[in-house]
Structure 1
Amino acid sequence: MTASEPTSVLLLRLAAPLQAWGDRSTFNRRETRPEPTKSGVVGLLAAAAGRSRHAALDDLAGLALGIRIDQPGSILRDYHTVGDYRDQPLLSAAVTAKGLQKPTSPAKRTHITYRFYLQDAIFLAAVEGPRELITTLEHAVRHPAFPLALGRRSCAPTQPLTLGQRNGTLLEALRSEPWQATPAVRARWGRTNGDAAQIDLPATLDDPAGDDVRDDVPLSFAPTTRTFTTRRTRHTYLQAPTGLTPDPAQPPTTGGHDPFALLGW
């Protein structure tokens, strides 16, 4: 991307009952970070665009990324047990000289594994890059070639997934977009803070001078040659509109309970 090349920002609303953003895992324990990883966001965009796992990722990995945490959610631990349906002892990770797995010793018929997820979390992801590429990606997210997921295949996103493009910088887009938390969370916050027009939300931004290093920039998603490199980030707080301040252009409500309001009648 050249200095004179016009840029744009694509906003993604990453929300689902469950999300999982792992940047490390072992066979029996799959962790999740408290916010989306760059590899996860790039993987979502690559799937939307219909790219194979062997396709080049230079253009997607080079996009600037900012994550605003609108609703942090909570950690869910999913407990699994694995066994052989024939009730035979499980194999171990050790192998023989011929490359065959050795049986567990003493014999083990059940293996315990754990999967960790984020439940009820909502993030605002801002992706900045060349306008032509961002326009292509926005269309792809709206008409994905492959099913999209928030980290793991079982974590299907809720709608709307894309909030469209914004002019200006990535930081300006994250600051100006209204708070995306659920109505229940917003109402609970409003009972304490009234109809305050702004809320401070934590954010993580790509920054070459940042003091945090993350090893989550994908170089290849090929199954046999999955490779990643590092990026520098910084953590901050951004003031964003809450959307709780009454709009002076709208007529005042008359009060009372309307049982058909949720139906739009």
Structure 2
Amino acid sequence: MSEHANVLTLCLAGPLQSWGASSRFARRTTERAPTKSGVLGLLAAAQGRDRSADVSDLAQLRFAVRLDQPGTRMRDYQTATHGDTHKSMPISERFYLADAVFVAAVEGDRNLIDALHKAVRAPVYLPFLGRRSCPPSRPLALGVHRSGLWRALETERWQASAWVQRRRIRERRVELEALVDLTVGAERAEGPGDVVRDQPLSFDPRHRRYGTRTVRSHTVVVAHPLGTHRKPFTPPAHDPMSLLED
């Protein structure tokens, strides 16, 4: 078995998520799916890494995200007052994904994957979905797969909400979009992908740096849970704020 056949899968579900890749000034946008920098930042926080810590080992992980429930894009306006002068600051626009559910997957060295799995089950810092105002509504860790990235995306249970699953009850198998890192040499075989700038180089607030990576959209087919078990999906109980209790 390849040392890079180890995959950690995460469920990213919450009332609101926001995954910015090119936000500037008073307009804070969100991508339509979790970014690699956002998910790796979540994992680094779970391990308790300082913002100035080296993240080159995390950056080398192959990343993919499956869009189980794309959600709805929404816009919010926020106002603020300067702490010293008490003057009103410019109104800012904040964009979010409402009622979305994703399955994120990272593939890499077995020891690192196992360490990350342990960290997300008992995180040092409270995890959030892109912004501090967006806590997860379910436990993050889904599991560790030893059979590679594609197999993990194909076998991980469809994580959409119960009402979404009921709307597609006639489908025995469900087609889902997945955004996957292109490996070196894959572009020649599969064709060009989309270049995005969310490859983290440094999370240091004094000098945040991001590189580019190439991703490609694929269709992943998974079994419909209600089509096989005829039992409504019930998300596990989860209180993210319990981590703050003694």
Give the TM bin, normalised by the shorter chain: 0.7 to 0.9
Conserved 8 A contact 1:63-1:127: yes
Moved over 2 A (4+): 3-7, 81-88
How far the C-alpha of 1:80 sits from its partner, in A, is: 1.6
Unaligned residue ranges in structure 2 (runs of 5+): 236-246
Conserved 8 A contact 2:5-2:149: no
RMSD of aligned alpha carbons: 2.2
* Other structure's SS at 1:244 match: helix
Conserved 8 A contact 2:4-2:107: no
Per the alignment, do residues 86 and 9 of structure 1 end up closer, same or farther by CA in structure 2, a change over 3 Å counting?
closer
Separation (CA, whole Å) in 1 of partners of 2:11 and 2:218: 19
How far the C-alpha of 1:230 sits from its partner, in A, is: 0.7
How far the C-alpha of 1:82 sits from its partner, in A, is: 3.1
Return the match for 2:224 from 228, 242, 246: 242
* Other structure's SS at 1:26 match: coil
TM-score normalised by structure 2 residue count: 0.86
For 2:179, the equivalent position in structure 1 comes to 204
Unaligned residue ranges in structure 1 (runs of 5+): 91-108, 254-260
TM-score normalised by structure 1 residue count: 0.80
The reply on whether 1:12 has 2:10 as its aligned counterpart is: yes
Per the alignment, do residues 81 and 124 of structure 1 end up closer, same or farther by CA in structure 2, a change over 3 Å counting?
same
Return the match for 2:132 from 149, 153, 162: 153
1:175-230 CA-to-partner distances (Å, cap 9, x unmatched) read: 1112110001111122xxx1x32100011000032421111011100011100111
State the one-letter code of the partner of 1:137.
Answer: L
* Other structure's SS at 2:227 match: coil
* Other structure's SS at 1:111 match: coil
Separation (CA, whole Å) in 2 of partners of 1:87 and 1:55: 34
For 1:29, the equivalent position in structure 2 comes to 27
How far the C-alpha of 1:172 sits from its partner, in A, is: 0.9
Separation (CA, whole Å) in 2 of partners of 1:6 and 1:26: 36
The reply on whether 1:219 has 2:201 as its aligned counterpart is: yes
Per the alignment, do residues 174 and 223 of structure 1 end up closer, same or farther by CA in structure 2, a change over 3 Å counting?
same
State the one-letter code of the partner of 1:189.
Answer: R
- Report the more deviating stretch, 109-118 or 32-41: 109-118
More helix by percentage: 2
State the one-letter code of the partner of 1:205.
Answer: V
Per the alignment, do residues 84 and 153 of structure 1 end up closer, same or farther by CA in structure 2, a change over 3 Å counting?
closer
The reply on whether 1:126 has 2:124 as its aligned counterpart is: no
* Other structure's SS at 2:39 match: helix
For 1:170, the equivalent position in structure 2 comes to 149
Separation (CA, whole Å) in 1 of partners of 2:67 and 2:202: 27
How far the C-alpha of 1:112 sits from its partner, in A, is: 1.6
* Other structure's SS at 1:60 match: helix
Count of aligned residue pairs for this structure pair: 226
For 2:51, the equivalent position in structure 1 comes to 53
Conserved 8 A contact 1:47-1:146: yes
The reply on whether 1:113 has 2:116 as its aligned counterpart is: no
